[in-house]
């Protein structure tokens, strides 16, 4: 039991140390400085049951938590904005593919019409050679 408790505490201490140094810089003396509520909050995944059992309410974290909540709100807003941008880019790519497909279909249709017109012209030329000036006059 002692080993398990020590290991858990030691791992938690290492997480806090890493987060405190990350937030306050490499020269931060985490062992002799007062507890950094931001680091504590982030390395423990929040504040279970409204208080940290180890410190029993001795840390005033109202300002820090307000900042963290604002920070999370801005992170969520940035994530939402990023998602909207990705959706817009996906839609533009899809619209571009559809436009390219439409242009290709129109090009194919134009080639087909051109080929038909050329064939009709050849037919008319051959017909005019075989029956050169056959006109039918219709009286009105």
pLDDT of 93 over the 70 cut:
yes
Say whether both 36 and 89 belong to one domain: no
Say whether both 30 and 73 belong to one domain: no
Say whether both 55 and 70 belong to one domain: no
Question: Model's pTM, two decimal places?
Answer: 0.38
Query: How high is the pLDDT of residue 54?
Result: 52
Say whether both 52 and 9 belong to one domain: yes
Say whether both 17 and 29 belong to one domain: yes
pLDDT of 6 over the 50 cut:
no
Residue range 111-137, pLDDT digits in tens? 999 999 999 999 888 887 777 665 555
Average pLDDT over residues 76-82: 80
**Percentage helix, strand, coil, to 5, in the chain?**
75, 0, 25
Query: How high is the pLDDT of residue 117?
Result: 94
The percent of residues above 90 in pLDDT, for the chain, comes to: 29
Which residue segment(s) compose the domain that 6 sits in? 1-60
**CB count in 10 Å sphere of residue 51:** 13
Identify the CA nearest to 60 among candidates 24, 42, 34, 23.
34
Residue range 43-78, pLDDT digits in tens? 766 555 455 545 555 565 666 666 666 666 667 777
Let me know if residue 115 belongs to a domain: no
Say whether both 12 and 31 belong to one domain: yes
Say whether both 48 and 89 belong to one domain: no
Top-confidence range, 5-9, 27-31, 83-87:
83-87
The percent of residues above 70 in pLDDT, for the chain, comes to: 62
Let me know if residue 66 belongs to a domain: yes
| CA separation for the pair 123, 117 (Å, rounded) | 10
Q: What is the total count of domains within the chain?
A: 2
Say whether both 48 and 18 belong to one domain: yes
Identify the CA nearest to 24 among candidates 32, 69, 60.
32
């Amino acid at each position: 039991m002692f080993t398990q408790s020590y290991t858990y505490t030691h791992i938690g201490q290492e997480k806090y140390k890493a987060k405190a140094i990350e937030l306050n810089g490499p020269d931060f003396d985490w062992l002799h400085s007062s507890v950094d509520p931001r680091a504590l909050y982030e390395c423990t995944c929040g504040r279970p049951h409204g208080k940290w059992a180890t410190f029993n309410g001795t840390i005033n974290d109202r300002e820090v938590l307000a900042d963290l909540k604002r920070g999370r709100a801005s992170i969520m807003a940035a994530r939402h904005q990023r998602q909207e941008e990705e959706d817009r880019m996906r839609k533009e790519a899809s619209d571009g593919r559809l436009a390219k497909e439409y242009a290709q279909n129109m090009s194919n249709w134009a080639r087909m019409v051109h080929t038909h017109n050329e064939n009709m012209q050849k037919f008319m030329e051959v017909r005019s050679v075989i029956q050169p000036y056959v006109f039918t006059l219709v009286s009105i």
